[in-house]
Amino acid sequence: MSAKSFSTVTVATVLIFFLKIQLSRQAPLNGSKWSYIGPDGEKAWPKKYPFCGGVFQSPINFHKDILQYDSNLLPLEFIGYNVPSTDQFTLINNGHSVKMFLSPAMSIRNLPFEYTASQLHLHWGNQNHSKGSEHTISGKHFAAELHIVHYNSEKYPDIAAAMDKADGLAVLAVLLEIGPFNPSYEKIFRHFQNVKYKDQKVLVPGFNIQELLPDRLDEYYRYEGSLTTPPCYPSVLWTVFRYPAKISQEQLLALETAMYCTESDDPEPLEMVDNFRNVQEELYECFCAKKQCRVICVNVKNWKGSSAALYHYKNTAFSFSCTSLCCLFFSCCICAWATVQE
């Protein structure tokens, strides 16, 4: 073994050791509280959830300096998305968002693994400031954002096992903007009055979930990032569709005003508004010092090489765990060094 390969193995061993310690120190998924405002707001997340202060954090702003065309990216294929109305989804207010559990018969293909659907949920702003998307394009916020969460069912038995693994999750993100009334979104939105308060649930008849996606599915941004809520595991392969879907002003208002983060008997009800995480520019830029370290790829028809489109961010499994660790225990500079060494 050469000196160089020995040092690489040593560095990797030490980093994996620290990563294991870090994972074991993670706060439990339930039991620790977090929020979007107040003392438990996003600035405080890293105290209880160290990955939230780490690398590969989402959401991000897609801007032309970090985007790169990738002709290898294919449009996704949606399997079992057309769920019959005889099946039912459970819609729940979990105190952070409104979430709908999906059928395990739903999956997506044309990613490195097959990913099975788990749930969808939304992020939004408030009625005075309808800028509630998490991802932004050239600095522009959209009104809201839908996330459809899938887990790697080729490698892991369920989402709990997958969610802290580098290749564990794939999330589809649909940006929402104001347009005509959207009857497909209404199949969820019409039930909001039954999930006004935390822990309330209601059954929603099955429908074709693909109706929630934008018309153009062939153009999207692709990158490796994280959960946008604690524990912020850097385990998500993101597909953010370039074109937004549209819902009406009234539908957006219903989303922004219908629900509370608190239970029905709470003496201090807290409106469920502004439940989006801000873009993770600083940590992102830190790693972007070396452009090749974080590049997002695009695949669009009529690509001219300058405008944003369908983007893909590549990194190896090694640099993933390495960089995650580095920002947890050392500094981003050391992290960048280790990645470059590898």
> Which residues are identified as catalytic?
96
* Closest approach of Zn ion to the CB of residue 215, in Å: 22
Q: Which residue is nearest to Zn ion (CB)?
A: 147
Is 191 a binding residue for Zn ion by CB under 5 A? The answer is: no
Point out which span in 141-149, 231-239, 300-308, 328-336 binds Zn ion (CB under 5 A). 141-149
Query: Which one of residues 135, 141, 147, 242 is an interface residue with Zn ion (CB under 5 A)?
Result: 147
Measured from the CB atom, the residue of 236 and 254 that comes closer to Zn ion is: 236
**What would the x/- binding string for Zn ion be over residues 215 to 234, using CB under 5 A?**
--------------------
Classify strands 169-178 and 245-247 as parallel, antiparallel or unpaired.
parallel
**Residue 335 beta carbon to Zn ion: minimum distance, rounded to whole angstroms:** 26
Of the pair 147, 191, the CB lying nearest Zn ion is at: 147
Using CB under 5 A as the binding rule, whether residue 99 contacts Zn ion is answered as no
Question: Three-state secondary structure along the chain?
Answer: CCHHHHHHHHHHHHHHHHHHHHHHHCCCCCCCCCCCCHHHCHHHHHHHCHHHHCCCCCCCEECHHHEEECCCCCCCEEECCECCCCCEEEEEECCCCEEEECCCCCEEECCCCCEEEEEEEEEECECCECCCCCCEECCECCCEEEEEEEEECCCCCCHHHHCCCCCCEEEEEEEEEECCCCHHHHHHHCCHHHHCCCCCEEEEECCEHHHHCCCCCCCEEEEEECCCCCCCCCCEEEEEECCCEEECHHHHHHHHHCCECCCCCCCCCCECCCCCCCCCHHHHHHHHCCHHHCCEEECCCCCCCCCCCCCCCCCCHHHHHHHHHHHHHCCHHHHHHHHHHC
Residues 41-80 binding Zn ion (CB under 5 A) are none
Q: Which range of residues in 76-84, 140-148, 245-253, 317-325 is near Zn ion by CB under 5 A?
A: 140-148
> Is the Cβ of residue 147 or residue 246 nearer to Zn ion in the bound state?
147
Counting residues that bind Zn ion (by CB under 5 A) gives: 1
Compare residues 141 and 147 and give the one whose CB is closer to Zn ion.
147
Q: Which is nearer to Zn ion, 195 or 322 (CB)?
A: 195
Closer to Zn ion by CB, 135 or 147: give it: 147
Q: Which amino acid is at 246?
A: K
Rule CB under 5 A: is residue 277 a binding residue for Zn ion? no
**Which listed range, 103-111, 146-154, 186-194, 321-329, lies at the site for Zn ion (CB under 5 A)?**
146-154
Q: What is the closest distance, in whole angstroms, from the C-beta atom of residue 268 to Zn ion in the complex?
A: 26
Bridging pattern class, strands 115-124 and 88-93: unpaired
Nearest-approach distance from CB 132 to Zn ion, in angstroms: 11
Residue 312 sits in the site that holds Zn ion (CB under 5 A)? no
**Which residues of this chain interact with Zn ion, rule CB under 5 A?**
147
